[in-house]
Amino acid sequence: MSDTLVLRAGTVADAAAIAATIAAAFAQYRGRLIPESTAFRETPEAIGDQFATGSGAIVAERNGTMIGCVVTEPLEGDLYFGRLAVRPEARGLGLARQLIVAVEDDARRRGLPGVRLGVRIALVENQRLFSSLGYREISREAHPGFDHPTSINMRKAL
């Protein structure tokens, strides 16, 4: 049997698998992020609602099983992505990069000038990945209740 990887647009029918993929991928961040990531409270219903309000997703499937995903939405004239998630058993294959390239390709198809993301200050390895792909810091912000920045906003011009 061949090992087939497919990246495709996610649909509302994928909401449960997207929520499960996010939960599996973000489990490594429990206890590392203060405040805790809202990804831990992601539900299929909430993801379905996001689709209904204009958000989208790109999913990665290996032999029909979802192993990665990323959620997208228009933001300030650019395409924003969040919840970049790769299941632990699929890490180390460059899938996160492939999903980001797919987001950039989607933004180009839409005629958008750039792609944005937010990354926690505590996740230095993720910052390095995004920087290596051409993303640059554009601002920092604090989560509600914090008097210091907890997140970095990054952008890549296309």
Q: What is the pLDDT of residue 135?
A: 98
pLDDT at residue number 80? 97
Is residue 52 assigned to a domain? yes
- CB-facing half-sphere around the CA of 25: CA atoms within 13 A: 24
Residue 14 lies in a domain: yes
Q: How many helices (H) and strands (E) does the chain have?
A: 4, 7
The radius of gyration of the chain from alpha carbons, rounded to an integer in Å, stands at 15
Q: What is the pLDDT of residue 79?
A: 98
- The tokens for 122 are 């505590």
Number of domains in the chain: 1
For residue 119, tell me if it sits in a domain.
Answer: no
86, 65 contact by CB (below 8 A): no
- Segments of the chain scoring below 70 in pLDDT: 1-2
Backbone angles phi, psi at 148, to 5 degrees: -140, 155
Domain-located, residue 150: no
pLDDT at 147: 94
Would you state the pLDDT for residue 40? 86
156 located within any domain: no
Would residue 106 count as lying in a domain?
yes
What CATH number does the domain containing 106 carry? 3.40.630.30
pLDDT of residue 2: 61
In a domain, 140, yes or no: no
Query: Residue 11: how many CB atoms within 10 A of its CB?
Result: 13
- Residue 35 inside a domain? The answer is yes
The per-residue pLDDT for 38 is 85
Size of the chain in residues: 158
Q: What does pTM read for this prediction?
A: 0.94
Residue where the block lists tokens 């993801």: 47
Residue 69 structural domain: 5-113
Identity of residue 73: E
φ, ψ of residue 16 in degrees (nearest 5):
-65, -45
The one-letter amino acid code at 97 reads R
In this prediction, residue 32 carries a pLDDT of: 84
